[in-house]
Amino acid sequence: MNATSLGLPERPRATRVRHVAVEDLVAQRPDTGFPMKGFQPGHADIVDWIFKITHKIWAERAVGTIHDTYDHACPVYAGADFSRGAEEVVAGTLATLSAFDRDSRFLNVAWSEDADGFYTSHLGASTVTHIGPNAWGPATGRRARFLTCADCVSRDGRIHTEWLIRDNGAAVTGLGFDIHEVAERLARADAAAGRKPWFIGLPRRAYGQANPGPLDRPEGPGIEDRLAHLLHDVFNRRRIDALARLYAENVHVHMAGGREIMGRQALGDFWISFLAAFPDAAFSLDHFCWSEETDGVILAVRWGIRAHHRGHGPWGAPTGRPVYVLGMSHYRLDEAARIVEEWTLFDELAILRQTKAPG
């Protein structure tokens, strides 16, 4: 199963990262003719570029190269935080390196190109040791493993917009902290400092008392349309049974919070528990991109959910507080165009910071 058979457009082949050793990814690659107008020479394609600048910043600790690869006013949107500009990216990177001895590897990179430049969604796995104090508490010396995903818009050799998710639910609990206590403390600090969420708006599933209808776009045979309709049906129409349209029965899902979910039935159970906690949840699919990788096509979506915390579930007793969930999902397809592996990230600490906000 290749990309064109899934209704995806033809485009130049880019570097593949899945199951490729870091040493091979760091190595110089020959010029493939991939169109990289405005980017520094020496990069084979956009995937090669995003990998190498990330590796240089984090693995080689060349933190100052952020000034060379980020726009000076680049906005960065995270689960509950917002920053603007390369200098704030530098500060955040130094804070993370001070708190964690970190080893990371790329899992997937999906990408697209349009008039705004290149869009990349790069998913990675990190194993860290907590060696210094941070906002969660003093160094514990413990180790934790978690996933991160960064979606970036890049043009002329610089990142101009970034959305970033670190699975803080898995990280905080893995390091031995009580995530509810940490979230409550951070929520009080947010209120004391007058920090407001970067997102606005309340959920609107349907006008008046109308039932949520089908997605307002044609459903063609291509995989992008099929995935968009499936996600709308599952989350906005509460048709959990729609998972069977694309998911293999034995799908393996790496879910936020470090959860490992095996099977389509168990995945449906998880989303039922999520929607029970946020019963007025309104879902939006905000970006789609893809890649052809070593073991199948990878689809990647950035999405958002607006809701009120009005039900019981993994995030505690209902508080009625409004919540925004920034999410990113990667899907690996098999030869039958079924989803056989999924990585879905959202920041549970960010959710709890909102549900525990004073007042």
Q: Which CATH number fits domain 223-355: 3.10.450.50, 3.40.30.10, 3.10.20.30, 3.40.1160.10?
A: 3.10.450.50
| Per-residue pLDDT, 220 | 86
305-317 residue pLDDT tens: 999 999 999 899 9
- Full strand arrangement of the beta sheet holding 100-114: 82-84, 75-77, 158-166, 143-155, 117-130, 100-114, 282-293, 296-308, 322-333, 339-345, 247-255, 259-262
Domain boundaries, the chain: 4-193, 223-355
Whether pLDDT at 284 is above 90: yes
165-215 residue pLDDT tens: 999 999 999 999 999 999 999 999 999 998 877 776 667 665 555 678 888
pTM: 0.95
| Per-residue pLDDT, 311 | 97
Local confidence band at 41 (pLDDT 50, 70, 90 cut-offs): confident
The domains spanning 4-193 and 223-355 adopt the same CATH topology = yes
Task: Report CA 10 to chain centroid distance, whole Å.
Answer: 25
CATH class belonging to 4-193? alpha beta
